[in-house]
Amino acid sequence: MEKKYGVTDVKDVINLSNDDQLRAFSKHALENKLPFNSIIGPRTQSISEPLLDGIRQTGGKVIRFDPTTGQFKNIDIGLSGPWKK
């Protein structure tokens, strides 16, 4: 299937939060009407609410990538609040 990258960042951390880098990406995506996505790893346990709000605002997605299987899976981030595994 065809898919747009939008503004996508790849992060393999345990707790993902809205740092200056991700804030800049979110802002850029919003200004350019692009989706702001985040690709996380299997060990990611939580994503902060401000970061998710930035993703939701742009219609972006959170995708989990498992390097051992090479599979991507969409994560349900809901309409509000943080995400926990």
Partner 1 sequence: MVPYVGDLLAKPAKAVRATKAIAGLEKKVAALTKTVTDLKKAKKEAEAIAAGVKERKVVKGPNVARDSAAKQEKAAAKKEKDCEDCGSTGDNKTKSIASANRAGSRYGSIPAEHQSRYDKYLSGPSVKKLTPDAWYESAKRMWKNNADGNAFEISARTALKAPLGPGSKPISIEGYIPDLPIGKKIRCYRC
Quick one: 70 or 79, whose CB is closer to partner 1? 70
Those residues whose C-beta lies under 8 Å from the C-beta of residue 12, and which sit 6 or more positions away, are 40, 41, 43, 44
76 binds partner 1 (CB under 8 A): no
Exactly one of 45, 50, 72, 78 binds partner 1 (CB under 8 A); that residue is 72
Q: Give the angle 44-3-35 at the CA atoms, nearest 5°.
A: 65
Nearest in space to 83 (alpha carbons), one of 28, 35, 40: 40
Which of 17, 28, 50, 81: binder of partner 1 (CB under 8 A)? 28
Give yes or no for residue 14 binding partner 1 (CB under 8 A). no
CA–CA separation, 36 vs 33, rounded Å? 9
Interacting positions 39-68 with partner 1 (CB under 8 A): 39, 41, 63, 65, 67
Give the footprint of partner 1 on this chain (CB under 8 A). 1-13, 20-21, 24-25, 27-28, 32, 34, 39, 41, 63, 65, 67, 70-72
